[in-house]
Amino acid sequence: MGTVRIQLINKLLLLIMLLIVAFSVSARGVYQTNEAFLSETFDGKVPKSSVIWIKGDLRKTVADILSHKYNGMRVRYWQQDGRSAWILNEIGKEQLITFGVVISAGKISNIKVLAFRESRGSEIRYPAFTRQFTDAGLIGLELDRHIDGVSGATLSVWAMTAVTRLALYLDTLTT
């Protein structure tokens, strides 16, 4: 009786470990390619990209928004018919998360997680979370609203919030 019980406990522990591994691996993935995001944003007619060079005072402002130094020299964006689209990367806990942000009239009209490389926190990709950003704008360098977090995804939430602020700020430089 004791041996059978130990075997059942071992099998149960193995099953739990497999489920944990499967769950953490399932969070990673490319949910939408950059090209598909841009095509969807601009109804299949993607405009030529433009560039903002990150130098001088802008480099400091970008670092203030992200709470760390920005390693790139430029940020690419696409603009057409009063809308701009930004594809930006930000570190979650340890890995980059790729976001697609669409801005219209100085407000967020859409935000998506395009690629998620972390083992946890992918819940930020669901519309139930991303809807909080719809129509968000900036007051100074801060969002004009509070964003509720997701338990277990704090760093991913911070990354999405920082990217949103960055895209909104950079969008003000394009007009």
Question: In this predicted structure, what is the pLDDT of residue 24?
Answer: 46
Are 22 and 38 contained in the same domain? no
Q: Can you tell me whether residue 47 is helix, strand or coil?
A: coil
Side by side, which strands form the sheet with 83-91? Answer: 29-30, 107-116, 96-104, 83-91, 74-80, 49-53
Are 106 and 137 contained in the same domain? yes
Distance CA(169)–CA(174), nearest Å, equals 10
Question: In this predicted structure, what is the pLDDT of residue 2?
Answer: 72
- Average pLDDT (41-56) is 97
Are 22 and 44 contained in the same domain? no
Question: In this predicted structure, what is the pLDDT of residue 12?
Answer: 76
Are 20 and 67 contained in the same domain? no
- The domain tally of the chain equals 2
Matching residue, tokens 């992918």: 122
Q: Which residue has the higher pLDDT, 23 or 97?
A: 97
User: Does the pLDDT value for residue 23 go beyond 90?
Assistant: no
Rounded to 5°, the CA angle 146-148-154 comes to 115
Are 40 and 5 contained in the same domain? no
Are 6 and 52 contained in the same domain? no
Which stretch of DSSP H or E encloses residue 68? none
Matching residue, tokens 């129509």: 135
Model confidence at 45, in pLDDT bands (50, 70, 90)? Answer: very high
Are 147 and 163 contained in the same domain? yes
Are 45 and 102 contained in the same domain? yes
Contact yes or no for 46/37 (Cβ under 8 A): no
Contact yes or no for 103/84 (Cβ under 8 A): yes
Q: Where are the alpha helices (DSSP H) in the chain?
A: 2-26, 34-41, 57-66, 127-130, 154-172
Are 20 and 62 contained in the same domain? no
Are 85 and 165 contained in the same domain? yes
User: Does the pLDDT value for residue 9 go beyond 90?
Assistant: no
Domain with 5, as residue range(s), is 1-27
Are 12 and 54 contained in the same domain? no
Model confidence at 11, in pLDDT bands (50, 70, 90)? Answer: confident
Are 42 and 92 contained in the same domain? yes
